[in-house]
């Protein structure tokens, strides 16, 4: 294990590289008020990850075992303040470039002033909002994004209202459904509707399904999930010919199809998903791509209706299902395939073994 000094010097080297990059781009130093490190070039992005990982390791060593476990067990408190910010849309009650008071936020949100003060001061420990010495509240980059970025707001809603309650029931589901591969035998059903799989449940609530798709669009913009890797990492031009078809199975509102359509000329796209999602995609499809991108209601467990496509694409689909149902999804494609058809999977691949880097934690 490295010494504190070794880790600090490693972090310092990465910090200097990031500072030099900001200076070269005539950007101000990093701050919590503005995100100056968004969309880093590929040569610089590893320095950001390196700084995060070295700093986190340094912090955990300084905390010791008791500090590590205490921080982890109290993380549930973050759900309270973030949940209130989401439920009462508190970020939208703070002017984007001005200051306000706890009393004004309370009046706008309908909450008690003392409660608003406690909620926001807890969130400030996460660098969500800031308080000036005068007692007035202003935005940080994080809270400002919550106020202006609908997809990020959807991500917060999905995590708080769909994912976190389910996480609390996961161990109970393991005890109750041990060994089951049925999609209804899961923690989601224990929270929402016993025996009903997540996507079947969400399909009954269009606003929640739309929120889920907004969250997926937000994740797709992040450095780790960015569609640029999909666009640049596969030879789409090699299959971009007249008459070729790309079928995005479970493609939501078409983010993948739109991204690949922008870098190809001839290939046509069919985006398949539940009715609510594809209807949203139809409404937001750019005029320039009409005629190349179509949307189709489709249950991915049923036989694939688009015959002879060049590509059947599944992005972050199979990891949602047990092996039994993942095989069923893949087998539903076989009758539609012809010589030369290919199935392209886009999924997380985890290292076979322990991984302690903080930037790799989310994937686990």
CATH number of the domain where residue 134 is located: 1.10.10.10
138 lies in the same domain as 188: no
Q: Which residue has the tokens 């499809």?
A: 285
Domain boundary among 219, 246, 269: 219
User: Length of the chain in residues, anyone?
Assistant: 364
Both 173 and 102 in a single domain? no
Residue 262 lies in a domain: yes
Distance separating alpha carbons of residues 60 and 67, to the nearest angstrom: 8
CA separation for the pair 63, 287 (Å, rounded): 55
**Residue 39 in domain:** yes
Q: What is the pLDDT of residue 274?
A: 85
Q: Are residues 234 and 276 in the same domain?
A: yes
Query: Same structural domain for residues 165 and 102?
Result: no
152 within 8 A of 145, measured Cβ to Cβ: yes
pTM given for the model = 0.83
Whether 68 is in a domain gets the answer yes
Query: Is the same domain home to 80 and 101?
Result: yes
Number of domains in the chain: 4
Please tell me whether residues 11 and 45 are part of one structural domain: yes
Domain boundary among 74, 97, 128: 74
- Which one of 74, 101, 126 terminates a domain? 74
198 shares a domain with 128: no
Q: Are residues 211 and 259 in the same domain?
A: no
**Tens of pLDDT, residue by residue, the chain (364 residues):** 689 999 999 999 999 999 999 999 999 999 999 999 988 888 999 999 999 999 999 999 999 999 999 999 998 899 999 999 999 999 999 999 999 999 999 999 999 999 999 999 999 999 999 999 999 999 999 999 999 999 999 999 999 999 999 999 999 999 999 999 999 999 999 999 999 998 889 888 989 988 988 898 888 777 667 788 899 889 999 999 999 999 999 998 899 999 999 999 999 999 999 887 888 889 999 999 999 999 999 999 999 999 999 999 999 999 999 999 999 999 999 999 999 999 999 988 887 888 888 877 777 7
User: Residue 248: its pLDDT value, please?
Assistant: 98
Q: Does residue 54 lie in a domain region?
A: yes
Together in a domain, 26 and 110: no
List, in sequence order, every residue forming a beta bridge with 345; answer none if it has no partner: 314
Task: Show the domain range for 332.
Answer: 222-346
Same domain assignment for residues 288 and 181: no
**Does some domain include residue 312?**
yes
Does 364 fall in a domain? no
Does one domain contain both 163 and 136?
no
Within a domain: 263: yes
User: How would you classify residue 295: left for phi > 0, otherwise alpha for psi between -120 and 50, otherwise beta?
Assistant: beta
Task: Give 161's strand partners.
Answer: none
By annotation, the residues acting in catalysis are 319
Same domain, 81 and 94: yes
Within a domain: residue 360?
A: no
> Any idea what the CATH number is for the domain that residue 329 is in?
3.40.50.150
């Amino acid at each position: 294990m490295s010494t504190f000094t070794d880790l600090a010097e490693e972090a310092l080297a990465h910090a200097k590289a990031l500072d030099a990059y900001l200076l070269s781009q005539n950007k101000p130093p990093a701050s919590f008020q503005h995100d100056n490190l968004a969309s880093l070039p590929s040569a610089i992005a590893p320095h950001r990850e390196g700084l995060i990982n070295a700093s986190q390791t340094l912090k955990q060593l300084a905390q010791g075992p008791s500090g590590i476990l205490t921080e982890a067990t109290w993380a549930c408190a973050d759900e309270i303040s973030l949940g209130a910010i989401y439920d009462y849309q508190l970020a939208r009650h703070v002017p984007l470039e001005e200051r306000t008071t706890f009393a004004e936020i309370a009046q706008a949100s309908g909450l008690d002033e003392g409660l608003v003060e406690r909620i926001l001061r807890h969130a400030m420990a996460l660098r969500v909002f800031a308080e000036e010495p005068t007692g007035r509240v202003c935005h940080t980059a994080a809270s400002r994004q919550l106020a202006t970025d609908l997809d990020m707001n959807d991500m917060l809603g999905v995590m708080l209202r769909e994912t976190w309650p389910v996480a609390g029931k996961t161990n109970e589901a393991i005890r109750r459904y041990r060994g089951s591969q049925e999609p209804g035998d899961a923690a989601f059903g224990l929270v929402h509707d016993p025996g009903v799989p997540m996507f079947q449940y969400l399909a009954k609530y269009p606003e929640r399904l739309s929120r889920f798709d907004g969250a997926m669009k937000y994740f797709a913009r992040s450095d780790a999930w960015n569609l640029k890797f999909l666009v640049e990492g596969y030879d789409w031009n090699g299959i971009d010919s007249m008459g070729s078809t790309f079928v995005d199975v479970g493609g939501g509102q078409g983010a993948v199809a739109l991204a690949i359509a922008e870098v190809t000329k001839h290939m046509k796209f069919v985006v398949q998903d539940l009715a609510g999602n594809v209807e949203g995609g139809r409404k937001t499809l750019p005029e320039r791509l009409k005629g190349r991108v179509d949307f189709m209601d489709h249950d991915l467990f049923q036989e694939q209706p688009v015959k002879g496509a060049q590509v059947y694409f599944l992005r972050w689909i199979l990891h949602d299902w047990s092996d039994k149902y993942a095989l069923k999804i893949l087998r539903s494609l076989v009758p539609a395939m012809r010589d030369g058809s290919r199935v392209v999977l886009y999924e997380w691949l985890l290292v076979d073994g322990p991984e302690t880097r903080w930037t790799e934690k989310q994937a686990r």
